[in-house]
Chain A
Amino acid sequence: MNPGLHQALIAVDTTSIGPGMAPVATPFFFYLLSGLAIAGGFLVSTRRNPVHCALALIVTLIAVANLYLMLYAPFVAAVQIMVYAGGIMVLFLFVIMLVSIERASRDRRFNRFWPVGLATACGLMALFVSAFVKGRALFPDRMIAIPEGSNTQQVASMLYGEAGRMGQYTFAFEIASLLLLVAILGAVIMTKKKI
């Protein structure tokens, strides 16, 4: 894609959304947030203390939520913060406090097969890099405007349908609710001492 067209697409993008909606200093915030996310991810896989890992993961989650905002997906960002940072991470912290942490912080950090795991991860990374380098054409530089103001309504109409019609994902949505119910039951049964 030639740079001129690329610039034009970006320009079209910002104007179509309206002058007020365009995020400010986009590159700066992108690098800041992605730096935070990656740093958090690094700490998660290296810190000895599980609580520190959880805090690092929270940083990553919030940074990723902000990246969603930059991608004009505010509803996903809100769900991310509510469910992940407010719900799942509290659950994680709860469990960390229930199980032994003093011992975990004295133990070896990595398992017996860590060289194999690291090698696999490196291989995966090489795969990604080669894909990005060779398949650059697969990912055009364009960004098509999504109206931000009605994002929630549009997501809702895909999930629930509108005007009496089933949405594209209504059935999947119902299945997901069933999945959650089963998960709740499973978790309760698993943790109960006496059923």
Chain B
Amino acid sequence: MSAAAKDDTKENANDISGHAPHAIASPLHLQTPEKPYLDSNELIINMGPQHPATHGVLRVILRLDGEKVLGTECVIGYLHRGVEKIAENRTYAMFNPYVDRMDYVAAVSNGLGYCEAVEKLLNVEAPPRADYIRVILTELNRMASHQLWLGTHALDIGAMTPLFYTFRDREEILKIFEKYCGARLTTHAFRIGGCLYETYAGFEKDVQNFLTFVAPKIDEYEELLTTNRIWLERTKNVGVISGEDCVALGVTGPVLRASGVKWDLRKAQPYAAYSKFDFEIPTGENGDTYDRYLVRMEEMRQSLRIIEQAVNSIPEGPIMAKVPKVIKPPVGEIYHSIEAPKGELGYFIVSDGSTQPYRVRVRPPSFVNLQALDRMVRGLLVADVIAVIGTIDIVLGEVDR
């Protein structure tokens, strides 16, 4: 591409981002893996914020040599709503629905993390029945999140059909949510201290029906993709990242496990009722896109196992612990993290003893995992960038908050 066109892009990039001057120049300061011959072939393009494959409003500035990626820079913040600041002006209970809007694909997990963090701060424990309900809904939500990931990831790589299959099955999960709490996506299912709603009549039966319904469907997805030659070519050895790199970058979740690190908070520091269930942590070996795919597929099956055990052994009893009407935690701070579908979701809450948190800081898995993008796509092609963005499984609501 010509020098003139490149200059145009640079200017446009600056106009849109509106960064301070030193930040503006950064795309050109990206490290190059090898010395360029001459820059006559370099091309800088903006992928996003309006691009069908960036899962929302992610903007990736790509520096290309032909089709080869020399470097990337993610520009985020197009969906920034100031969730953490909002928390400082809301009571603890009032802030609860806001967290659902971060990772809106896995809203139940977000709520669980927040409720448990505040419970720790208050020093209360949810009753066992509430814990079991929480596990069932959270694992259902993990299924839903992975299904949505699979559909969109396959669509990014060009396979249209799995999207509709996964959406058909995800619909059943959303129906259960709707019957339980009236909402499908941003559920606000849990309250601080337990659950607000008792399970509806036939809840167990619905869940068990879903389990028998969905198990063969997972095989169906795998049939479409796992041994598909083109799928293998597009995903094997694409976006490889080593376990050490993952740990160094703070990457968690399936991405970390696919690189061979057996780290799952449900086992490492069990919360809710997870210590009572028997399940495996699937890990990969190569840390490539295909392994991440396999790990997530296996996680869906493990989720089914957990749900089955939980539904079969759900205890009777109260669903709400004794929590004061006005929540006023003692002065102090707490960090509590759970294993969300995308990785470690942590809440750091500082209390000054009033009804409102002094500071809430969220550690969103998508945001941290996204930082590995550049490491994964250097030297690959443009099409691989799409595949890698899909495989990291980001939700921009959570990245930008």
Contact = CB atoms under 8 A, between A and B. Distances in A.
Contacts of A127: none
B4 interface: yes
B26 interface: no
B37 A102 contact: no
B5 interface: yes
B37 A103 contact: no
Interface string B2-18: 11110000000000000
Interface in A98-142: 98-103
B128 to A, nearest CB: 66
Contacts of A101: 2
A165 interface: no
The secondary structure that dominates the A interface is loop
Interface string B344-366: 00000000000000000000000
Contacts of B5: 102
Interface in A8-40: none
Contacts of A102: 2, 4-5
A100 B3 contact: yes
Interface in B1-44: 2-5, 37, 41
Nearest to B7: A102
Nearest to B4: A102
A193 B5 CA distance: 22
A100 B2 contact: yes
Contacts of A100: 2-4
Contacts of B4: 100, 102-103
A98 B3 CA distance: 11
Interface of A: 98-103, 193
Interface of B: 2-5, 37, 41
13 contacts: A98-B41, A99-B2, A100-B2, A100-B3, A100-B4, A101-B2, A102-B2, A102-B4, A102-B5, A103-B2, A103-B3, A103-B4, A193-B37
Given A100-B3, A102-B4, A103-B2, 4 more contacts: A99-B2, A100-B2, A101-B2, A103-B3
